[in-house]
């Protein structure tokens, strides 16, 4: 395969990665609006931030929604891609206890965070090549 053929494949691959990462992140954001009490429990258990009220959870969800919409549209790639990488990286790391007990339900599911983290890194690292379906530069 020559460089021209490979170059044509990269944007499609990055688009599919971006859409799939967006889908996961969107579900996490929607959870904050649909079940704010669940999000509050997650913040308490994993981040040690207890008793977040619905308004705070909604505010966090609104900020994250703006970030992931910018991400999926390719707006401000250096910032939005880095923020998505940071958000997912943090959520991957705070689940560290689950990695030590993988066969207790639902801990095995936490391992799916690692390939997604790699996808987030790939998108950030190759952001200049991610042009298909973007409105940003």
Residue 137 inside a domain? The answer is no
74 or 99, greater pLDDT: 74
pTM of the predicted structure, to 2 decimals: 0.90
Question: CB 2: neighbour CB atoms within 10 A?
Answer: 6
Structural domain range at position 98: 3-129
Residue 74 inside a domain? The answer is yes
Q: How confident is the model at residue 102 (pLDDT cuts 50, 70, 90)?
A: confident
Rounded distance, CA 50 to CA 96, Å? 19
How confident is the prediction for the chain on average, in pLDDT?
92
pLDDT tens-digit series, residues 25-37? 999 999 999 999 9
Residues in Cβ contact with 52 at an 8 Å cutoff, skipping those fewer than 6 apart: 39, 40, 43, 44, 60
Residue 17 inside a domain? The answer is yes
pLDDT score recorded for residue 16: 97
Residue 7 inside a domain? The answer is yes
pLDDT score recorded for residue 41: 93
Rounded distance, CA 61 to CA 32, Å? 6
pLDDT score recorded for residue 49: 87
Rounded distance, CA 130 to CA 126, Å? 7
Average pLDDT rounded to a whole number, residues 83-108: 91
Give me the sign of the Cα torsion angle 107, 108, 111, 113: negative
Residue 90 inside a domain? The answer is yes
Residue 135 inside a domain? The answer is no
Residue 101 in this model has a pLDDT that exceeds 80: yes
Residue 83 inside a domain? The answer is yes
Average pLDDT rounded to a whole number, residues 94-100: 87
pLDDT score recorded for residue 6: 64
Count up the domains in the chain and report the number.
1
Residue 136 inside a domain? The answer is no
Q: How confident is the model at residue 53 (pLDDT cuts 50, 70, 90)?
A: very high
């Amino acid at each position: 395969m020559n460089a021209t053929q490979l170059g044509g494949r990269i944007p499609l691959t990055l688009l599919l990665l971006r859409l799939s990462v967006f889908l996961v992140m969107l579900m996490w954001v929607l959870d904050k609006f649909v079940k704010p009490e669940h999000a509050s429990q997650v913040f308490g258990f994993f981040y040690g931030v207890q008793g977040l009220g619905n308004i705070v959870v909604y505010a966090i969800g609104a900020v994250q929604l703006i970030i992931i919409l910018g991400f999926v549209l390719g707006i401000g790639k250096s910032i939005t891609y880095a923020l998505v990488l940071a958000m997912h990286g943090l959520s991957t790391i705070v689940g560290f206890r689950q990695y030590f007990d993988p066969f207790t339900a639902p801990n095995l599911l936490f391992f799916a965070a690692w390939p997604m983290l790699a996808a987030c890194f790939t998108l950030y690292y190759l952001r200049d090549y991610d042009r298909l379906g973007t409105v940003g530069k």
